Structure 1
Amino acid sequence: MEVSVLFGGRAGDGIRQLGQLWARMLSRRGFRVFLYDDYPSLIRGGHNFTIVRSSTEPILAHREKVDLIVALNQEAVEKHAWRLLSEVDLVFDSTAVKAQGFGVPWKEIVKEFSAPPIMRNTAALASTAKLFGISFQEVEESIKKDLPKKTELNLSVAHRAYELTEGHLRKLSRPGNDPWPTLFGNEAIALGAVSAGLKLYVAYPMTPSSSILHYLAQHGESLGVTTIHPENEIATILCALGAAYAGKPAMVGTSGGGFALMVEALSLAGQAELPIVIAECQRPGPSTGVPTYTMQADLNFVLSAGHGEFPRLVVAPGDAEEAFYLTALSLKLAWKYQIPAFVLSDKHVSESLFTQQLPFDEVPKVAFKAWDGQGEYRRYEITADGVSPLAFPGDPGAVVKVSSYEHDPYGITTEEPETIARMQEKRLSKAKLLKEEIESLSPVKIEGEGEVGLLVWGSTRGAALEVSRKLGLKYIQPLVLEPLPEEALRKALSGVKRLIVAETNATGQLARLLKARGLSVDKTILKYDGRPFTVEDLERSVAGV
């Protein structure tokens, strides 16, 4: 049993909130839900829409076609009528829209109760529930839980809309599943970092990473995390590096344009061997690009950013569960190897709503090689594995010196050729151990068998899983992109005679990386209009090759 509903209107109509209310209501009934948001970079005006797809089985992507359009203005009907399975599967504000279907005077209801105009979305929620045979008691419970402000007024508006909605679309029976949590990808990133031991989050707002900042600022006290919003991105990363120097695990969040300003400090982290996690949530570019849409176009940038040579970790989650686990893993490995680590998300993962269980029992934890307090402390002591013991300011007997300049084991600047070479080798030696550990962690997801493989990364996961299952393809997804788990990838590609790589960028960045490592790619499917693959979209593209 599956149903997809599109909610549409203009910015300021509360479309995103309406979609979330509907998604959470269905999730409480035991449905598995995926929510996709589409909105321009406007506070008011411009067309917003949200697609909520729900099913009795887990889902991680939305479809083009929908069972119902909920239209708060005429534009929502005109732009999306092509998505309907039947032209009368519309519920709309009869005071603002002319269409066939179920008309309800939401604007008049709001006026009747002297409620603010945005409460049309509450009225629309009630009408949608009525059409699907959901009792008003469930609507009431959802409003009380999810709308803590002006709850009684929202209930009055919703009740009247429920009464005035005549007709029935289909009955959504309860699927019999236990309810699962609903959370956004960015919330999963935040919780993964906190579960691993995060103590400080620093960010300058930049879509689509901003909701990590909002979430941790709102819940920081209960989560034990300090959240700071400095004056710019340069201050952001330097603040986080200062925290790492003091022994506090820190993470920063940004998008491509913000990370561009952080690159010099990234090299400082590499030279000073300061652990840091950077959540880089991609959007279309270059420059300002299209701030509220999605693309996987920063892979090359993140892999090569910074001057000089130093190891780094790059992970790419494709859903909330992966975002949680991989962020925790990034924090752990950043501290274990004293390196920068990237969580490479994008708008589609960061701002989509998932119904998923999070693996709290399996979460990696921050741990590091600590100085034993014996002898004279050497911050950059040369060891067999390249990882130096850590001490922090205030530790008895330790003078903790870090430097952006090349240095000797004590952290004292040097220009001696032998020392320069030894310290460079020390830093790079950690990359070998990091790659060995990554290879041991099941860094590539595989599903199915077949001579044709579909390989994707990050947010293309959801659509690709469904297409692979339907068309009988072997699904392959690397979770770690640096160091690239070549051994695990070669095993995953065993038996594959034809490999298709799908990604949302214009140049096939992962496909090029695979080819550079000697892995054969037969076809690339690229999408670069700022929108993610839908299931139908990717299926058409794969079937065409």
Structure 2
Amino acid sequence: MEDFSILIGGIAGDGINEAGLTAARLMNRLGYRIFMYYDYPSLIRGGHNFSMVRASSERVGVCRDEIDLLIALNQDTVDRHSGCLKEGSIFIYDDDNVMGGGIAEKSCGISVTGILKEEGAPSVMKNSCILGAFCHAVGIEWTVLEEVLKKHIPKKLELNLKVARRGYDQASEFCRIAKLDNSPEPIITGNQAISLGLIRAGLEAYVAYPMTPSSAILDFMANSAEEFGLKVVHPESEIAVILMAEGFAYAGVRAAVGTSGGGFCLMTEALGLAGMAEIPLAIVMAQRTGPSTGLPTYTAQGDLHFVINAGQGEFPRLVVAPGDAEDAYLWSAAALNLAWKYQIPAFILSDKIVSESQYSFDLGLAGKAETARPALLWNGQGDYHRYRHSDTGVSPLAYPPQRRQVIKADSYAHDAAGITT
């Protein structure tokens, strides 16, 4: 079987995202290329969460409607997704919470809740237990799961291994997923690829107010700040976010911001400032369903016209729209470089699918991303005019402080020196 789809469902708090990612890592170890979608409501706890993992011998960037294996930690998963099963599909479930009779010919109930109670394990370890059963059901050796858990679950490792082993021992084997000749690849989200692309292009500051589905970029940048020498700031509002980033850029610091549609609404006036004052800036705009607060955790692609036309008047801008992790890495770097080359705002237009899904990532396929210098830097001769005319339309760039020079940034129509006209 060279194309295999898995759906894992439960409630928030069951570790469904981590369960899906662990399943993806297991298939990655066997040489498969991965795409994983994570679905969750806008709730801290409760609600229906599920992960869909597609593993294929070829590169994939979308899930299929039909699934080969359904893993249910609650009844809601069965009620919502049993229709996706096909002839020959496998069904694994928590026998203490799910009515599994007659759902699929190849089915296996595991006393997940009972095992956790006996071992004194927290409910979040349901995913470790059921994944143990998954591995046995599809013929993945225990040592492979053990290696993955040891690498990616450092907290309470021994207890996780214990409940996973009990789930493994309770399950039955229904098939064997063949190991492919492909080497494993890193599995990353589109947001992580965007972050790495920006960093590769010389990002020095990231400013954001959390807004799904761009929020994980702020988390990644904060965790990576020391390693890459980044300034990462979480201001009090989206208005403060974009103005602070423009302040960084005025001072010569390559900056980017991240938001979604509702947050970007608040940024449009300051976007006009970047256009008029010719301030280079990269804006990650990860779309979700609107208008207003909309559906905070669901995807949409309705904001292209908004991004192209945001801000009154006319000024040049760049919009790139990556379609997968490799695109996200390459074009995020390109957006930051081109913003500084032409002294314009540049948009990285994403959506929940691209931003939050997990992909097998091949740096070789992504293309070469480098840090490019601005097209025209001031040569230091004579009086500096921030908006001096050039044949290309790009003015010479300098950053304060410059000895005996005034560097203007003007939101009004202005002359070459930056004086309001």
- Cα offset, 1:168, TM superposition: 1.6
Partner of 2:219: 214
| Alpha-carbon contact 2:31-2:182 (below 8 Å) kept | yes
Spell out the pairing of 1:94-493 with structure 2 (5 A cutoff): 94-100=95-101, 101-165=107-171, 167-359=172-364, 362-368=368-374, 369-414=376-421
**Partner residue, 2:33:** 32
Which residue of 1 is the match for residue 104 of structure 2? none
SS of aligned partner of 1:46: strand
- Please state whether the residue corresponding to 2:37 is helix, strand or coil: strand
Shift, 1:361, TM fit: 6.2
Counterpart amino acid of residue 165 in structure 2: H
Cα distance in 1 for residues equivalent to 2:155 and 2:220: 19
1:465 corresponds in structure 2 to none
Amino acid paired to 2:85: L
Alignment check: 8 A CA contact 1:391 1:398 kept: no
Which 10-residue stretch deviates more, 365-374 or 132-141? 365-374
The one-letter code of the counterpart of 1:170 is: C
Contact 1:318–1:349 (CA<8 Å) still a contact in 2?
yes
| Superposition deviation, residue 309 in structure 1 | 1.0
Contact 1:6 1:52 in 2 (8 A): yes
Quick one: which amino acid aligns to residue 58 of structure 2? E
What is the DSSP-based 3-state SS (H/G/I as helix, E as strand, rest coil) of the residue aligned with 1:53? strand
Report if aligned partners of 1:16, 1:49 keep a CA contact under 8 Å in 2: yes
Output one character per residue of 1:83-106: Cα deviation in whole Å (capped at 9) or x when no partner: 001376210011111113200111
- The one-letter code of the counterpart of 2:210 is P
Deviation at 1:397, TM superposition (A): 4.0
Consecutive unaligned residues in structure 1, runs of 5 or more: 415-545
CA contact (8 A) 2:38 2:51 kept: yes
Letter in 2 for 1:94: D
Partner-residue secondary structure (3-state), 2:117? helix
Deviation at 1:156, TM superposition (A): 1.1
Structure-2 separation of matches of 1:137 and 1:220:
35
Q: Distance in 2 between matches of 1:384 and 1:391?
A: 18
| 1:153 Cα deviation from its structure 2 partner | 1.2
Q: What is aligned with 1:419?
A: none
Contact 1:65 1:85 in 2 (8 A): yes
Within 5 Å, which residues of 2 pair with 1:4-23? 4-23=5-24
Contact 2:20/2:51, CA 8 A, preserved across alignment: yes
- CA drift of 1:108 comes to 1.1
TM-score, with normalisation over the residues of structure 2? Answer: 0.96
Question: 2: distance between equivalents of 1:396 and 1:242?
Answer: 20
| Distance in 2 (alpha carbons) for counterparts of 1:413 and 1:396 | 23
399-408 or 345-354: which moved more? 399-408
Post-superposition shift, 1:364? Answer: 3.6
Cα distance in 2 for residues equivalent to 1:112 and 1:224: 47
Q: Contact 2:68–2:88 at 8 Å: present in 1 too?
A: no
Distance 2:153 2:228 in 1: 23
Cα contact 1:392–1:398 (8 A) shared by 2: no
| In 1, Cα distance between equivalents of 2:281 and 2:207 | 11
Offset, 1:161: 1.2
Q: Deviations over 1:232-260 (max 9, x none)?
A: 00000000000000001100000000000
Give, in whole Å, the separation in 2 of the partners of 1:217 and 1:199: 12
Secondary structure in 2 matching 1:154: helix
Aligned to 1:86: 87
Aligned to 1:45: 46
The amino acid that maps onto 2:244 is C
Q: Percent identity?
A: 51
Tell me what 1:75 maps to: 76
Of 81-90 and 203-212, more deviation after overlay is shown by 81-90
How far, CA to CA, are the matches of 1:135 and 1:195 in structure 2? 38
TM superposition shift of 1:405: 1.5
TM-superposed deviation, 1:149: 1.2
In 2: Cα distance, 1:183 partner to 1:28 partner = 15
Q: CA deviation at 1:8?
A: 0.6
Contact 1:39 1:49 in 2 (8 A): yes
Structure 1 pair 373–397 and aligned structure 2 pair: CA distance change class (3 A): farther
Q: CA deviation at 1:395?
A: 3.0
Indicate if the aligned counterparts of 1:325 and 1:364 stay in contact, CA closer than 8 A: no
Residues 112-157 of structure 1: per-residue CA shift (max 9 Å, x gap):
1111111001111111111111111111111111111111111111
CA contact (8 A) 2:274 2:344 kept: yes
> Residues 26 and 144 of structure 2 are in contact (CA less than 8 Å); yes or no, is this contact kept in structure 1?
yes
Q: Indicate if the aligned counterparts of 2:277 and 2:410 stay in contact, CA closer than 8 A.
A: yes
